Structure 1
């Protein structure tokens, strides 16, 4: 006996989403079942009725219902449509919506030591892909990614042979296949030799930096960072109570002779300075290491994007010249694979990696095993190297187009990676506020990164901004730069 029928108006679709309609229908029906809006035995709207309500093809609804039958959530009733099955699925407790306060009106201030929302941040719109001229940095062009190969590697990682290893809690361990790739293929390209127990897989470079800072700051820490520099490193250090001094860089990066006495740790981006892309020459690197030895401090090297070397081979990492174990090396796959993967790695002395491994275990156990194994297969089977080849070719064309357009509109390129990279550091005309420029440009669908968040201190408006070219098609670059020039002139003429 079929009970009452569920009204179709409790079901909805997001037609702006790229997700398949069948999947959305299944999800909204399951949500209704688990929230008890559609109790067991209740008849669902007919496929014709629901299709009419949602404005989609009837067959789409029928296929979604059939999948729900296969899952056990729905039953097919001969000549009577579909009804909710006695699936045994756990029901959510019905929640009323009374007038209540979440405590945001001041109650929590005495429990929170700081407000992270006020830190210097490089912001980008979530929907940046919808903008026609997106010079966003650090994002990938999905057209250059071999999605089919990645999907096949993911299926392989989910196969019976691998599933037992990934289904369990690895506690402090990492995927040995990924670690072996990093040790045997990635690090040698940077001139680094390391054993497996000197490598820790992290949830991106950000997680690696946080682990280092958390370990070092326990006994108090005097740290030096670059100015301009990566704002999140400075924010993390200060959040952990470290005393931070930022030092202005010159044309060769951070000057070692300006590091104050008593410094415990220096955080640098020598191969590809963030954000200017300046490359620290070998002589300066050796000087920094000698200074570290003489004044007894450690160096944390954030070495990102070295794979994007299409103009000349990248110089060896700072860690490659380290003979006394003073350098902690941070690497990432975010720029070379895709940022949403969130896989990075930390290389250092065994004792430090052992402590970092335990701390990581306290925080999150380990990065997702399936992601680690999929990435390992993608690299081991040669897909990664082919992707890097394609990215280098595209980035070379885009950088050439960017330089030509900037020169044509009289912009100064204030910083660029000697080996290639995926961005340029640009100086606008004197008096230009790049933050105001960025806001103005959004009206015409142009996205840039204003330079102010990278500076720990500034005198007046910041004329610098960063232009990434990793995700903008080459045929849109010239028009995008022209719009930047138009808006710059308009702001300066007021």
Structure 2
């Protein structure tokens, strides 16, 4: 945690010589307002009177008198030769003064249509660690992360040998060592053969989906998505105002026969579908690729949670089976290393990668060089594989414990989660609305994900919810499931 005390730079303060207010009074009011607004915090050190006077172009006596008045009113504390500090008695000082002249506020509502905020999910609490029974997807158990190994790799990436990778602007380039490891060690596990010009690093799968959608759908092209499907993709397509056609899943995932004729892009997660965990059989993958070739459809394959699957081998990736080059493959390290890493990659035809690289370069150039090189070391030194093994073992145990708990508490109706991963997709107990269930569970310390965000038509998700076990200890699962079942019976009037 960062320490509270810091040196406040003189540039924090400004003097307006065009107003009639005395300079000393202006300075005092600025400091008082900044204290009450929380911009200056207890214990922080004020600039020296000499430095602040030089910056403001005023006499030193003006600053020292302002400081003296603020000490007298308990806004500042004088500490001998150490200088002046923000007082720790701010809460006792009462409300701060209003600014003398409030300028008319700019009307941003006339410039913004609100579609980005409308698409944003509001069911993901930031204080999730405070809940003892957190069945929340997308977070992880800190005990499964090899902190020491990551720290070792981060320090190594700071060495002189890697100074260029750390400090240079690579323009739109990516770390060659990380790209090389992805090509030679990760992609072959999915049956994919690729060259460096077919790889683009991204800030995770979400960034990859945004980049792909921006390029392929900015001219009104129609796309098909899985229903239910990944909420993050819904958000992107909503803000782009894309022509979206949801395709209902069956027991084998996305059915190619249900894809309309006028579709130009299909988004799918065939290896481990989000959120149902269904795996698309090889025959269906071949049918989907055949359909794509006949209609000249682009397939965007999100290789969701493949790395942490513990249920045995799956079919090769669609990209590995693709002969025409129409498949765009997305991979991510966010689930297999840790969520805050936000690092992933796109594998696609060199022509598309060149376009995507140029589009990415206009926004962020490239992911941070230090993060890329640290990840390269984490992979090449074997830490990645060891952590994956630990995560698979933990998730296999939690999957078993959760499955038994669901059976014990009669909550396994419609459960899907046989392909491994880190969650179950469930029907709500007794058909209770999932938003209501989630809301009423929070005071009991239980977090679940209601089903509405996973559907293009939100009302279709009212009877479903996702139960993830990546961030909850195995010993807490049964009690959490019991609370869900008990509250479901109560809300349904079955007690």
Q: Identify the residue that residue 325 of structure 2 maps to in structure 1.
A: 325
From the superposition, tell whether residues 189 and 98 of structure 1 become closer, same or farther in structure 2 (CA, over 3 Å): farther
Partner in structure 2 of residue 31 of structure 1: 8
**Contact 1:134-1:448 within 8 A present in 2 as well:** yes
Distance 1:161 1:458, change over 3 A: closer
Question: Residues of 2 paired with 1:417 and 1:316: CA distance?
Answer: 20
Q: 1:373 to 1:461 in 2, by over 3 A?
A: closer
Quote the residue 2:160 is aligned against: 160
2:391 alignment counterpart: 391
Aligned equivalent of 1:45? none
> Which secondary structure does the structure 1 equivalent of 2:48 belong to?
coil
Separation in 1 of the partners of 2:306 and 2:417? 10
Listed as ranges, the matches of 1:159-308 within 5 Å are 159-308=159-308
Q: Alpha-carbon deviation of 1:228?
A: 0.7
Q: Alpha-carbon deviation of 1:164?
A: 2.6
The TM-score normalised by the length of structure 1 is 0.81
Displacement of 1:395: 0.8
Q: 1:439-450 to 2 correspondence within 5 Å?
A: 439-450=439-450
Separation of aligned partners in 1, 2:487 and 2:370: 46
Deviations along 1:311-359, one digit per CA (max 9) or x if unpaired, are: 2123211111101101000110010011111101000000000010000
The Cα offsets for residues 82-123 of structure 1, whole Å up to 9 and x where unpaired, read as 348xxxxxxxxxx968545644xxx33442244222226363
Q: In the alignment, is residue 492 of structure 1 matched against residue 492 of structure 2? A: yes
Distance in 2 separating the partners of 1:411 and 1:363? 46
The answer as to 2:40 corresponding to 1:40 is: no
* Separation in 1, partners of 2:274, 2:461: 20
Q: Is the 8 A contact 2:453 2:461 kept in 1?
A: no
Secondary structure (helix, strand or coil) at the match of 1:440 reads: helix
Q: State the match for 2:474 in structure 1.
A: 474
CA–CA separation in structure 2 for the residues paired with 1:123 and 1:147? 29
Name the residue aligned to 2:40. Answer: none
Aligned to 1:6: none
Shift of 1:263: 0.9
Q: Give how far 1:493 is off.
A: 0.6
Structure 2 stretches of 5 or more lacking a match?
14-44, 51-78, 85-97
Q: Name 2:401's counterpart in structure 1.
A: 401
Deviation of 1:208 after TM superposition, in Å, equals: 0.7
Q: Distance in 1 between matches of 2:397 and 2:197?
A: 40
* Offset, 1:34: 6.2
Counterpart contact for 2:272–2:419, Cα < 8 Å: no
The TM-score, its normalising length taken from structure 2, stands at 0.81
Contact 2:452 2:460 in 1 (8 A): no
Q: Structure 1: state its 5+ residue gaps.
A: 1-18, 43-76, 85-94
Aligned in 2, Cα 1:250/1:404: closer, same or farther, shift over 3 Å? same
- Shift in Å at residue 417 of structure 1? 4.3
Give secondary structure in 2 for the equivalent of 1:29. coil
- Does residue 421 (structure 1) correspond to residue 398 (structure 2)? The answer is no
Match of 2:148 in 1: 148
Indicate conservation of the 8 Å contact 1:413/1:425, yes or no. Answer: no
Distance 1:234 1:458, change over 3 A: closer
What is the CA RMSD across the aligned residues, in angstroms?
2.3
C-alpha separation in 2, matches of 1:102 and 1:135: 43
CA distance in 1, matches of 2:289, 2:461: 35
Contact 2:224 2:246 in 1 (8 A): yes
